[in-house]
Chain A
Amino acid sequence: MSQENENILEVQGLTKRFGGLAAVSEVDFKVRKGGIIGLIGPNGAGKTTIFNLVTGVYKVSEGTVNFEGKSITDLEPYSIADMGVTRTFQNIRLFKNLSVFDNVFTACHLSATYSLPEAILRLPRFRREEKLLKEKAQGLLEIVGLQDRADVVASNLPYGLQRRLEIVRALALDPRLLLLDEPAAGMNPDETEQLMRLIADVRDRFKLSVLVIEHHMDLVMRLCERIVVLNFGIKLAEGSPDDIRGDARVVEAYLGAPAPAGGK
């Protein structure tokens, strides 16, 4: 495969300063097309800040973010999403009062092109596209096994399923790069295992590249092909799970003790 070396995301010299504090400084990393990259580091290392910079929630102080060869450094979040980058949040952000179906149905909007007058006058294109959107949302719910809960109000879902719903809402945008912010937070080992399989499955099915922040070390080590380690906003190390496991600096900064531990 000639696309093997192609990078979907290239981050160079990424820096974010809040006043005098550099939350992220001079971070470089790349995400290969189809790859799953892990972003780890102790609390406050700047992982979520990097997500916020890549998705345009924060403005970049210095450095560049390129997606599929085009700069997305100064774009608004909605146009970055439109280009094919989307994410989930550490503290789940669903449309809480809407049904599971409507959460996904709403996010499908980029697949429709009908205008406002066409909607108000219920013209043929509106009917046609609306039907397609419904089928798409239904299909997505089936993939993640939420079809039986389509009418449940999102905030009434069990925690693990809310995370799953947030992922499927992101998939509704047909992204090519998916950023997952601690998808396994608060999950028991069983749910974590299922989530891992889901991530690997959607990666293959939707031909996605994934960048994931996670504290569950076993998940990161087994799922990711490369891992980037951050500490105090600086990139400490990068490499395969085996490299990272053996890296003395990482063990010291992240795990705090020479003996490897399971959680954070």
Chain B
Amino acid sequence: MDSYIQGIFMLAGINLMAVLGLSLLTGFTGLFSFGHAGFMAIGAYTAAIMTSMLKLPFIVGIVAAGFTAAIFAYLIGRMTLKLKGDYFCIATLGFGEAIRLILDNFQGLGGSRGWPGVPAHTSMLNIFIAVVIGVLFLSNLVRSRHGRNLIAVREEELAAQIAGINVVRYKTLALVVSAIYAGVAGAFLAHYMTFIQPKMFSLIKSTELTIIVIFGGLGSISGSVLGAVVLTFLPELLRAVDKWRLVAYGAAVILIMISRPRGLMGGMELTPNGIKKIIAERKAKKAAAQRSEP
């Protein structure tokens, strides 16, 4: 495979890793976050410290990245998860920007000029393995009592409470797990770019992740996978239209959202059972349409 295409695939894998976590938080638990680039930044810098400064193996960097992001998420969660809906969203936005500004002003890690010379450890193989493990863990989590409790929180918070679900605890769980995914994605990103800079983890990055989750379809893991791949490739395919590229990207996203308002997968999964369900629903729709015709 040519290295340009390979590069895009690796980027898609890194985006996917972060999107998987956000999918758990937004798609399954119903919490919107505009600060996940902050967790990616924490992961990227932690991993870079491990491999570049301390000369430890990449795997140590990845684990440390996930771990550190988890600790931050836990602390932030304890402080903000009693807030409802939009207020939590604003709190995450503040968190993401705060992390970026702290890194911008902290000269020890390169400050706003960035940190060059991070070893290029990221490869097609290790990203692929990480993504497969990520998808497996997430789909197993979602299809368990813990996952069902998260979905219950999304569906009807008060009813979830009355059903014996500790809502704050489960929201914290979703935030911590999603931060681990973002942290690991940050570690891969740092060792793919070999250069990290606070600017890479701005609000735009957080927004991009949220767009991918919604674009793929809330509450669908396969939707998140599809969304991450499509939306990473789209801007590259649009290089043909040169400076109109980002305009075309925006237009394409809007068009797809209009034609599929519930996202690409709309809550369905691309598993044998899920496909059966999709086909059954199509048939039912067609039958209903025929019945309504005179």
Contacts of A116 in B (CB 8 A): 141, 144, 146, 173
Identify the A interface with B (CB < 8 A): 55, 57, 76-79, 81-82, 86-87, 89, 93-98, 102, 105-110, 112, 114, 116, 119-122, 126, 130, 133, 169-170, 172-173
Q: Are B164 and A57 in contact, with the CB atoms below 8 A?
A: no
Identify the B interface with A (CB < 8 A): 137, 140-141, 144-149, 151-152, 155-156, 158-159, 161-167, 173, 267
The 8 Å CB contact of A78, one of B140, B148, B164, is B164
Contacts of B162 in A (CB 8 A): 55, 57, 77-78, 81, 86-87, 93, 170
Q: Are A109 and B148 in contact, with the CB atoms below 8 A?
A: yes
Instruction: Kindly list the 8 A-B residue pairs having the minimum CB-CB distance in the complex, ordered from nearest.
Output: A119-B144, A81-B164, A95-B155, A93-B159, A77-B161, A109-B145, A106-B148, A107-B163
A-B residue pairs in contact (CB < 8 Å), sample of 22? A76-B166, A77-B162, A78-B164, A79-B164, A79-B166, A81-B164, A93-B158, A95-B151, A95-B152, A95-B159, A98-B155, A102-B148, A106-B148, A107-B163, A109-B149, A109-B164, A119-B144, A119-B145, A122-B140, A126-B144, A169-B159, A173-B164
Nearest Cβ on chain B to A106's Cβ, whole angstroms:
4
Q: Please judge, given known A-B contacts A95-B156, A109-B145, A119-B140, whether A78 and B161 are in contact too, CB under 8 Å.
A: yes
A-B contacts at CB below 8 angstroms, number? 92
The answer for the CA separation of A67 and B163 in the assembled complex, in Å, is: 17
In the complex, the chain B residue whose C-beta lies closest to that of A115 is B146
Q: Are B141 and A119 in contact, with the CB atoms below 8 A?
A: yes
Q: Are B163 and A94 in contact, with the CB atoms below 8 A?
A: no
The answer for the CA separation of A199 and B156 in the assembled complex, in Å, is: 24
Q: Are B148 and A94 in contact, with the CB atoms below 8 A?
A: no
Contacts of B173 in A (CB 8 A): 116
Nearest Cβ on chain A to B13's Cβ, whole angstroms:
21
The answer for the CA separation of A96 and B140 in the assembled complex, in Å, is: 23
Contacts of A170 in B (CB 8 A): 162-163
Nearest Cβ on chain A to B134's Cβ, whole angstroms:
11
In the complex, the chain B residue whose C-beta lies closest to that of A119 is B144
Contacts of A109 in B (CB 8 A): 145, 148-149, 163-165
**Which of B151, B155, B166 has the most CB atoms of chain A within a 10 A radius of its CB?**
B155
Q: Are B163 and A130 in contact, with the CB atoms below 8 A?
A: no
Q: Are A57 and B155 in contact, with the CB atoms below 8 A?
A: no
The answer for the CA separation of A86 and B159 in the assembled complex, in Å, is: 10
Contacts of B146 in A (CB 8 A): 116, 119
Nearest Cβ on chain A to B43's Cβ, whole angstroms:
20
